[in-house]
Amino acid sequence: MVARNQNLVSITWGSSVKFSIVRFFVSLVLAVFLVAAVYMAREYVSFNYMLMVPLDVTFSGQSECDLFSGKWVFDNESYPLYKEKECKFMSDQLACNKFGRQDLGFQHWRWQPHHCDIPRFNATKLLEKLRNKRMVFVGDSLNRGQWVSMVCLLDSSIHDPNLKIMNNSGSNLISFKALGYNATVEFYWEPLLVESNSDDPVNHKLPERIVRSQSIEKHARVWTDADILVFNSYLWWREPHIKVLWGSFKDENGIYKEVEMRRSYEMALKTWSDWLEIHVDRAKTRLFFISMSPVHEKAEEWGASKDQNCYSETDMITTEGYRSNETNLDMTRIVENTIDELKTRGLKVDLINITQLSEYRKEGHPSIYRKQWVALSEEQLSNPSSYADCIHWCLPGVPDVWNELLYAYIFQQ
């Protein structure tokens, strides 16, 4: 069969060679025309796609691509980006596997923006960028979680134990240093950004929250000269009212006043932005603000039973655009307004919008799988959801992706 067909082909060739040459040229012209047309159409249609990067290069600007709008894709080839047990600097608050969590599916998800790719996280490349520099995460325990994630991401590429050091002297500042690069990556505890009665890095759980909305210098002097600053502040504001203090904590003449939360948040961010405007070296320092990290404390919001929370959840929420009604968008608006205002004064702060992508991840929290600092009562033990942590995030996990987004911005010039 095959041989006969070949014969047929060669006969056709032989008998109509001239005709074939003409046809060949006609086809060639047609083909050239077609290719050009397809090429031009492609260029027109997928102009945006062509700007969008191969994996290791930076993406091209927010206007072409919203990195924060996308979906989670299962990827157990590349994720997790490091192993929980292998990160020497892992926190017991976030080491879920170490504290008994067996379902580890939450570690295998990649964030896929709808219209482009996130550049691949390359720890060596980031360390080179941070050579002789200082990067400081400033904020609350969620920002601390992101910092631990960043340290683990970097740590995984530094194999010599003598080339990395952690200094936790019990002050507000914890410091990781990659000695081979003289690169410092720090966390500074300052949960309300301005001074407050929750500033002690260990003993900060007080019944009543008091902020000095006008005062930031005590903290800010420690981090102002950093090369990269990553702020957050949200969780500690989740009260209808906050007590604001004019004067110092020691001052007998201090004036206290209950202020509606949104207003006090606005005042605090104003103080923060005024400080940045006047003290930050624009030629040197890059500024980032991490948006609200959502909580999963009310299971009825995603259709599970009323008295439950994130405890025993093993899957994420798949409803596109799902949002807990605990997520206070008014606060995001205040952050945005503050940042926009700063821009008019010539200072750029990039908002890393992690809220929506994290909303889906009800299964990403430590729940009961973390170190308990105080012994649990019989009653608690009989009802695990009563002590489940549905606020912080297991590592490796969701905050690694926040850092991938931060990484994308750091390399975007």
Ligand X SMILES: *[C@@H]1O[C@H](CO)[C@@H](O)[C@H](O)[C@H]1NC(C)=O
Stretch that binds ligand X, among 22-30, 66-74, 268-276, 396-404 (CB under 6 A): 66-74
Pick 60 or 337: Cβ nearer ligand X: 337
Q: With binding defined as CB under 6 A, does residue 281 bind ligand X?
A: no
**Taking Cα atoms as reference points, which of 195, 177, 123, 219 lies closest to residue 411?**
123
Q: Is 46 a catalytic residue?
A: no
- What residue spans of 280-394 are helical by DSSP H? 329-344, 355-359, 378-382
Radius of gyration of the chain (CA): 27
Q: With binding defined as CB under 6 A, does residue 341 bind ligand X?
A: no
Smallest distance from ligand X to CB 183, Å: 7
**Element (H or E) spanning 17, and its range?**
helix 17-45
Q: With binding defined as CB under 6 A, does residue 305 bind ligand X?
A: no
Q: With binding defined as CB under 6 A, does residue 78 bind ligand X?
A: no
Written as one letter, the residue type at 219 is H
Q: Is 160 a catalytic residue?
A: no
Q: Is 364 left (phi over 0), alpha (psi -120 to 50) or beta?
A: alpha
Smallest distance from ligand X to CB 333, Å: 8
Among 102, 253, 325, 344, binds ligand X (CB under 6 A): 325
Q: What is the DSSP string of 232-254?
A: ---GGG-SSEEEEEES-TT-TT-
Residue count, binding to ligand X (CB under 6 A): 27
Q: With binding defined as CB under 6 A, does residue 356 bind ligand X?
A: yes
Q: Is 251 a catalytic residue?
A: no
Strands 228-231 and 286-290: parallel
Among candidate residues 91, 117, 140, 141, the one labeled active-site is: 141
Could you tell me which residues come within 8 angstroms of residue 155 by beta carbon, excluding any fewer than 6 positions away? 82, 87, 88, 89, 164
Q: With binding defined as CB under 6 A, does residue 56 bind ligand X?
A: yes
Question: Are 237 and 192 spatial neighbours (Cβ–Cβ below 8 Å)?
Answer: yes
Residue nearest to ligand X (CB): 69
Exposure class string for 81-113: b at 16+ Cβ within 10 A, else e = bbebeebeebbebbbbbebebeebebbbbbbeb
Q: With binding defined as CB under 6 A, does residue 336 bind ligand X?
A: yes
Among 48, 78, 124, 383, binds ligand X (CB under 6 A): 124
Question: Are 405 and 352 spatial neighbours (Cβ–Cβ below 8 Å)?
Answer: yes
Binding mask 125-154 for ligand X (x = CB under 6 A): x--x---xxx--------------------
Smallest distance from ligand X to CB 299, Å: 10
Q: With binding defined as CB under 6 A, does residue 332 bind ligand X?
A: yes
Stretch that binds ligand X, among 65-73, 93-101, 244-252, 276-284 (CB under 6 A): 65-73
Helices (H) and strands (E) in the chain, counts: 12, 13
Among 5, 169, 344, 382, binds ligand X (CB under 6 A): 169
Question: Are 84 and 396 spatial neighbours (Cβ–Cβ below 8 Å)?
Answer: yes
Where does this chain bind ligand X (CB under 6 A)?
Answer: 56, 66, 68-69, 76-77, 122, 124-125, 128, 132-134, 167, 169, 171, 173, 182, 184, 300-301, 325, 332, 336, 353, 355-356
Catalytic residues: 141, 389, 392
